[in-house]
Amino acid sequence: MRTTLTIDDDVAAALERLRRTEEKSLKELVNVALRRGLIDLETPAKPRKPFRTRAVSGGKLLIADITDISETLAIAEGEDYR
């Protein structure tokens, strides 16, 4: 079957690199890439195991009121803010 394709520049560059290294024709490379891509598209994705983050204790809070930004920063930076 003959058809005209418009190939993006990055894809064309990748095909050209492969064509040079594997010494295959552009037609062969495009057909291989399309076959692999179609198989990948037709194959249902494997369900992923949910990622769980374990909770850890951060210890007791060293700052009495975290809403006071200047005090919180001064304590965090070790400045004598008073």
Sequence-distant (6+) residues with CB within 8 A of 42 are none
Query: From CA 6, how far away is CA 80, in angstroms rounded?
Result: 66
Contact 13, 2 (CB under 8 A): no
pTM recorded for the entire structure: 0.52
Q: pLDDT for 4-37, tens place per residue?
A: 989 999 999 999 999 999 889 999 999 999 999 9
Cβ atoms of 79 and 70 closer than 8 Å: no
Q: Where are the domains of the chain?
A: 1-50
The token pair at 33 is: 């890439």
72: tokens are: 């919180």
Q: Tell me the per-residue pLDDT of 66-77, one tens digit each, with 9 for 90 and over.
A: 788 887 788 778
Q: What are 50-59's pLDDT values in tens digits? A: 999 998 887 7
